[in-house]
Structure 1
Amino acid sequence: MKYLLLVAGLLTSLYGNSQELEKSLLWKISGNGLQEPSYIFGTIHATCDASLDENTIKALQETKQLYLELDMDDKAMQMQMLKYMKMNNDVKLSTLLSAEDFKIVDEFLKKHMNMSAKMFDTFKPFVVSSMLLPKMLDCKFQSVESELIKVTEKQGEEIYGLEDIKDQMKVFDAIPYQVQADELLKTAKSDLKQDKEEFIKLLEIYKDKDIEGMLKAMDESENKISSENQDLLLNNRNKNWIPIISETASKIPTFFGVGAGHLAGEEGVIKLLRKEGFIVEPVQ
C-alpha cells in the first residue's frame, strides 16, 4: 500500500493537473503501447523568424508524416474556405455597424489592404481581422507551418489535418458576429496600435517557448474573441483532436504541429494526452 501511495504521489508531482508545464515548444509522445514515439510542436501563425531548431528538424526526420490543424497542402482547401467565410442568414457587416462606424472600417481597410469593406460585407468579421495579421509585423511575414511543410515535402512524406476547414470556420459562427464586428471596429479605431502591441508581446512569449504564458496572454487579451471564447477556440477543439492524435500515433510515428496556445492548460493537448496514459515530455 505504501508503495502504491508513493507511486501515486510521484505521478501527481510529475503530471498533476495544477503543475505548470515546462518552457518548450516540442514535446515527445511515448508510452501507452506506442512502438515508436511521436512529437507535438507548438506553432505560431505569423512571425519574423520561422526557422526550426535542430531538435525540431530531428523530430521531423524521426517521424513519417505531418499533421497540422488543417491539411494545408490540400489544393481544394482555398475553395472550401471561400465557401465558409460568409456569415449565415445573410448577415452583413454594414448592418452590424452603424453607417459612421462602417465608414471607419472601410477607410481603415482601404489604407491597410487597398480594399473596401464593401468587398468583405458578408464575411465573418474575424476572417477580415485575420487577413490583417501580416500587418502586425514590422518585418517580412513568415509562417512556422510553412517551414514544417517544406521539410515534410522534402522528405517525401504526407501532410494531413486534425480538422477540416468547415469545422474550423464553424467556431466563428458560434462566436457572435456582433462581437467580431465590434473587435474589428476597435482595431480600425486604434489603427492596429493595440493589436500590434498585443501581438509583439505574444511573439516574445513564443520566442521564450513559454506555452503557459501564451495561454495566459490569450486569457488577458483586450480582444474579447480571444479572452472570452477559449472553450470554442481551444478547449473543445483540443478534446476533439485527442482521439485522432491517439489513433494516428498508435499506427505511425507522426509529427503534430498545432498553435502553441493549444498545448498548455488543464484542457490543453499535453495534459489531455497524459490523462489518456501517454508519456508527454519536453524536448529541450
Structure 2
Amino acid sequence: MKYLLSIIIAFFFVSSNAQQLEKSLLWKISGKGAKTSYLYGTIHATCDSLLDKKVENALKETKQLYLELDMDDPGMQMAMMKDMNMKDGQTLDQLTTKEDYDMLSNFIQENVGVPLGMIKTIKPFFISAMFIPKILDCPMQSVEEHLMKIGKRYNEEVFGLETVEEQMHVFDDIPYKDQMDELVKSAKDNLANDKKEFQEMLAVYNTHDLNKMLEFSATAENKLTSKFESQLLTNRNQNWIPRIEKIIKTTPTFFGVGAAHLGGENGVIRLLRKQGYKVEAVF
C-alpha cells in the first residue's frame, strides 16, 4: 500500500531534449555551503534490490536518509487510505461504459480477488497498482526498504521529502477518466503490454543511464506521465528543491527518490545545479 504512487510512477519516464547526463544513479551534492550529501535514483518495484557498495558507502558517510515519504512512519498507511477515494462521490462505473466496467469487474475479481463494487470509489490509478505483483512476475523487492535497512545499520533516521497528503492529491489533479481509460486498457490485454514495458523499464534502469530512462517514455503506450508530467514529476521536483536546500545546509543527507525524478531539464539534478550546487556523478 505505501508504495502505490511511487511504484506506478516507476513504470514511466518523461522524455526530454536536455543535455545528456553521465551514466550513474548515485550523485554527490556539494558546494554553496552544503554539507556533502548524496542523491540516488531508486526503482520502487524490482526483482533484485541489491545495492552497489558505493551506495552503502554514501549512506555510511551521511547522517540521515530522506525518501519521497517517511516510510517508517507507523501512521503512513492510515493516512494513505484516507485519501484514496475520488472526490465528489464519483465512482468507477461513471467513468466508462457498462460493457467495460463489467469486463473490468471480472478481471479484478480474477486477478486481485476483490469485488470491484467494494472499491469502486478508489482512484483508478491505485487500482492499477494492485496489478504490480502480477506484472513483475517475481517476489517483489523494494530499493527503499533496502536503503532503510542499511541506514538503520548506521543509525540513520528516515524522513520524507513530502507528505502522504501531497502525494495522494496528485491524482486529484489528473482526470479520473484518463486514469480509468488506462486501467481498462490494461485489463483488456490481460496486462500483456504492462508486463512487456515493465521488463523493458527494468532493463533500462539497470543500465544506470538516466538519458535512456527519459527516452523510454517516447515509445511507451501508457500516456499518463507524458500527458501529466507537471503533476507527476515537474511540480514535485520543484517543491523538493527548497526542502533539499534547507536540509543539506545543516546535515549530510542521503536522498533516495525515483530515478524518473533525476534527469531532464526539470529534474532534481539540473534544478540543484541551477541553484548553484555542484552535483556530480559517482561512478
Which TM-score applies when normalising by structure 2? 0.92
SS of equivalent to 2:122? coil
Superposed displacement of residue 18, structure 1: 4.0
Q: Is residue 2:215 matched to residue 1:216?
A: yes
Name the residue aligned to 2:25.
25
SS of equivalent to 1:27? strand
Q: Is residue 2:93 matched to residue 1:114?
A: no
In the alignment, is the contact (CA less than 8 A) between 1:38 and 1:254 conserved in 2? yes
Amino acid at match of 1:76: G
Name the residue aligned to 2:199.
200
Amino acid at match of 1:280: V
Q: Distance in 2 between matches of 1:134 and 1:226?
A: 21
Name which of structure 1's ranges 126-135 and 185-194 shifts more when overlaid on structure 2.
126-135
Superposed displacement of residue 136, structure 1: 1.3
Name the residue aligned to 1:105.
104
Superposed displacement of residue 181, structure 1: 0.5
Q: Is residue 2:160 matched to residue 1:161?
A: yes
In the alignment, is the contact (CA less than 8 A) between 1:108 and 1:188 conserved in 2? yes
Structure 1 residues 38-76: Cα deviation after superposition (integer angstroms, max 9, x where no partner): 000000110011001000000000001010001111111
Q: Is residue 2:39 matched to residue 1:40?
A: yes
Q: Distance in 2 between matches of 1:160 and 1:239?
A: 18
Name the residue aligned to 1:226.
225
Amino acid at match of 1:155: Y
Name the residue aligned to 1:259.
258
Name the residue aligned to 1:6.
none
In the alignment, is the contact (CA less than 8 A) between 1:24 and 1:211 conserved in 2? yes
Amino acid at match of 2:213: M
SS of equivalent to 2:40? strand
Q: How does 1:143-154 map to 2 (within 5 A)?
A: 143-154=142-153
Structure 1 residues 79-117: Cα deviation after superposition (integer angstroms, max 9, x where no partner): 110110000000000111222111111111122211121
Q: Distance in 1 between matches of 2:232 and 2:218?
A: 12
Amino acid at match of 1:99: K
Amino acid at match of 2:210: I
In the alignment, is the contact (CA less than 8 A) between 1:30 and 1:38 conserved in 2? yes
Q: 1:74 to 1:219 in 2, by over 3 A?
A: farther
Superposed displacement of residue 219, structure 1: 4.2
Superposed displacement of residue 131, structure 1: 2.0
Amino acid at match of 1:98: T
Name the residue aligned to 2:9.
none
Name the residue aligned to 2:240.
241
Amino acid at match of 2:265: E
SS of equivalent to 1:222? coil
Q: How does 1:121-160 map to 2 (within 5 A)?
A: 121-160=120-159
Which TM-score applies when normalising by structure 1? 0.92
SS of equivalent to 2:134? helix
Q: Distance in 1 between matches of 2:280 and 2:118?
A: 47
Computing the radius of gyration over CA atoms, which structure comes out larger, 1 or 2? Answer: 1
Q: Distance in 1 between matches of 2:249 and 2:129?
A: 35
Q: Which has the higher helix share?
A: 1
Name the residue aligned to 2:3.
none
SS of equivalent to 1:128? helix
Q: Could you say which structure has the greater relative contact order, defined with CA pairs below 8 angstroms and 6 or more residues apart? A: 2
SS of equivalent to 2:186? helix
Amino acid at match of 1:25: L
SS of equivalent to 1:129? helix
Percent identity over the alignment? Answer: 52
Structure 1 residues 149-204: Cα deviation after superposition (integer angstroms, max 9, x where no partner): 11112222210111011111111000000000110000000100011111111100
Superposed displacement of residue 218, structure 1: 2.9
Amino acid at match of 2:26: L
